[in-house]
Amino acid sequence: MKNILILLSICFLISGCNKDDSPNDNNPYLLDPLVGITLNLNLPQYNALKFTGNSIELAGEGLKGIVVYNINNEQYAAFELSDPNHIPSGCSKMEVDGIIATCPCTTDSNEYNIITGQHMLNQNLYPMQRYNAIRTGDVVQISN
């Protein structure tokens, strides 16, 4: 009987685990589009990502595009460019300047850090939707 209780407890704990406990799981504004992108850093359009502190935008990916940032040549950050704090619309595609992504909608002044995805002023708002970014050799894989 003791073994059955232990086994049931373990099954219960395992079933409660999620592969990616992302803070975006409960965002009512954004869908979670299927993303699977391979960036070969030897190609000219992705060459900027070989250098720390550079970023590129991938138009036509995700909902409104994806920004990829090279943190330290081993770690990369990848985020959705649709403002996570309102429904995607004609103005909700954020514009990137340095490490700040800004929503051009006139109804808000949302600004986010593209390294962390956090809102610059209000930590209670939804962060940017994160994608997995893994570098292997000269290839960066972006996925969710």
Q: Which residue has the higher pLDDT, 25 or 105?
A: 105
CB atoms closer than 10 angstroms to residue 122: 11
Whole-model pTM: value is 0.82
Region for residue 128 given its phi and psi (left: phi exceeds 0; alpha: psi -120 to 50; beta: otherwise): beta
Q: What is the C-alpha to C-alpha distance for residues 118 and 45, in angstroms, rounded to an integer?
A: 27
Residue 42 has pLDDT above 70, yes or no: yes
pLDDT category, 109, cuts 50, 70, 90? Answer: confident
Mean pLDDT to the nearest integer, 42-70: 97
29-143 CATH, one of 3.40.50.720, 3.10.290.10, 2.102.10.10, 3.20.20.70: 2.102.10.10
Looking at residue 3, its pLDDT comes to: 54
Tell me the two tokens of residue 23. Answer: 């803070």
Q: Which of 21-25, 116-120, 140-144 is predicted with the least confidence, judged by mean pLDDT?
A: 21-25
What rounded mean pLDDT belongs to the chain? Answer: 87
CA distances from 84 to 19, 26, 110, 116 (A): 22, 11, 9, 14
Percentage of the chain with pLDDT > 70? 83
Q: What is the C-alpha to C-alpha distance for residues 91 and 66, in angstroms, rounded to an integer?
A: 16
Residue 115 has pLDDT above 60, yes or no: yes
Residue 17 has pLDDT above 50, yes or no: no
Looking at residue 138, its pLDDT comes to: 96
CB atoms closer than 10 angstroms to residue 37: 16
The per-residue pLDDT for range 80-94, each reduced to its tens digit, is 999 999 899 999 999
Mean pLDDT to the nearest integer, 112-138: 96
